[in-house]
Amino acid sequence: MSALPSKPQVLWLTPKSLEQIFDNLRELGEATGRRQRAEDLIAASRARLEKIDAATRRISSPPRVSCMEWVDPVYCSGHWAPEIVVIAGGRDELGRVGSDSIRIPWKDVLQWAPELMIVMPCGCDLEAAASHARRLFEYPGWSDLPAVQKNQVCAVDASSYFARPGPRIVKGTRGRIARPHLSLFAVRNPT
């Protein structure tokens, strides 16, 4: 970069929360001369998230959720994922709000006993997520989890709607995207 005739502007876009995603969008808008477009996008995204939050606040007993950012080894969710779980009406006490996802022992998932499990391996599309999720069938205690017993386990397109910071995070939170998930029971272990 030092050999270039002029020093390029470098944007470090490494958000760890929804608010930091919005800050990054604003920075990108300023750097590209589209500040107003960025502000409009941020305002529309916030309005959608507030609408979801208002609708889910009526849930008297938020379900226990586990968002798995990796399966082998098991990683809990991090960054903004726990925030979007709360907005969508759940609670994920295994997740790390505003921090990196970390490796956790499988026994922690068993103890949390999620009622909804979302398999969202970082960087994976839907088919790859489903492939990774099949490994869970081998884990001890898998079939005893409330999410498994209630058919509330799904793989999602994390790469498009959960892992990459940007406006699509709102679509992932809404859950109204085309082919939003693949129930693991559609790819059930044949044994």
Q: What is the pLDDT of residues 133-157, one digit of tens each?
A: 999 999 999 999 999 999 899 899 8
DSSP 91: B
In this prediction, residue 172 carries a pLDDT of 82
pLDDT in tens, 89-139: 999 999 999 999 999 999 999 999 999 999 999 989 989 999 999 999 999
Which amino acid would we find at residue 44? A
The DSSP string of 126-165 is: HHHHHHHHGGGGGSTTGGGSHHHHTT-EEEE-HHHHTSS-
Break the chain into its structural domains and give their ranges.
Answer: 65-187
**In this model, does residue 79 exceed pLDDT 60?**
yes
Residue 175 pLDDT level (bands cut at 50, 70, 90): low
How many angstroms separate the CA atoms of 162 and 101, rounded? 13
pLDDT in tens, 27-77: 999 999 999 999 999 999 999 999 988 888 888 899 999 999 999 999 999
DSSP 59: -
How many angstroms separate the CA atoms of 61 and 163, rounded? 27
Assigned token pair, 174: 């809404």
**pTM for this model (two decimals):** 0.84
As a whole number, mean pLDDT of residues 9-29 equals: 93
DSSP 186: G
Count the residues in the chain: 191
In this prediction, residue 180 carries a pLDDT of 43
In this prediction, residue 72 carries a pLDDT of 94
In this prediction, residue 167 carries a pLDDT of 85
Residue 179 pLDDT level (bands cut at 50, 70, 90): very low
**157-172 residues labelled b (16+ CB within 10 A) or e (exposed):** bbbbbbbebbebbbbb
Q: 65-187: what CATH class?
A: alpha beta
